[in-house]
Amino acid sequence: MDVPWLDRTQLAAWVRLAALLEVLPGTLDGQLRRDADVTLFEYFVLAMLSESPTRSLRMSELAAQTSATLPRLSHVARRMEARGLVERRAVPEDGRATAAVLTGAGLERIEQAAPGHVRAVREHVVDVLTPEQLAQLTGITDALLRHLDTGGAMAAMYRRYDDDAGRG
């Protein structure tokens, strides 16, 4: 099969996106490790649990919201449980299912971590862009997510802050 190679404009965009996907997570992860002793992924786990009305989610739902496999999430949850940040409990109405529950210490940790994380997100992304560029970034990422997250498994996570003006 003949594959059309990327032209210079396409290659320039792709290489920059690939570089961003490498540099930004490491930058945010480093800030969270230094300031709050959590990884970026652990922060997402804590954030999803803290935003749940019950501060609890089935592991399968939490995996979907954090784009993790169940084995990865189980491993991380086990480490976080050992540190007192979450508890894993059987779901009463379904004995085969397990829920992750945010502990008091986990809530304290996310509350401790959030201001520094928001500061880092502002410093490295939001405040670097003009309002127009930020709107373009949302449109670009929406287009990519529509293509990549076809089942909408992560949509609850990335659409929760959309305004009612909506994006297609």
| DSSP of the chain | -PPPPP-HHHHHHHHHHHHHHHHHHHHHHHHHHHHHS--HHHHHHHHHHHHSTTSEEEHHHHHHHHT--HHHHHHHHHHHHHTTSEEEEEETTEEEEEEEEE-HHHHHHHHHHHHHHHHHHHHHTGGGS-HHHHHHHHHHHHHHHHHH-TT-TTHHHHHTT--TT---
What is the band of 164 on the pLDDT scale with cuts at 50, 70, 90? low
Flag the least confident range among 16-25, 37-46, 82-91, 154-163.
154-163
Tokens of 77: 């949850």
Distances in Å between the alpha carbon of 167 and those of 25, 126, 157? Answer: 25, 19, 15
Tokens of 8: 């210079």
At residue 100, what are phi and psi to the nearest 5 degrees?
Answer: -100, 135
Domain map (residue ranges) of the chain: 14-153
Q: What is the pTM of this model?
A: 0.87
Fold of the domain spanning 14-153 = Arc Repressor Mutant, subunit A (1.10.10)
Residues 82-94 have a mean pLDDT of 93
Flag the least confident range among 28-37, 100-109, 148-157.
148-157
The predicted-structure confidence for 113-144, as pLDDT tens digits, reads as follows 999 999 999 999 999 999 999 999 999 999 99
Task: Classify 156 as helix, strand or coil.
Answer: helix
pLDDT of residue 168: 44
| CA 39 – CA 26 distance, rounded (Å) | 10
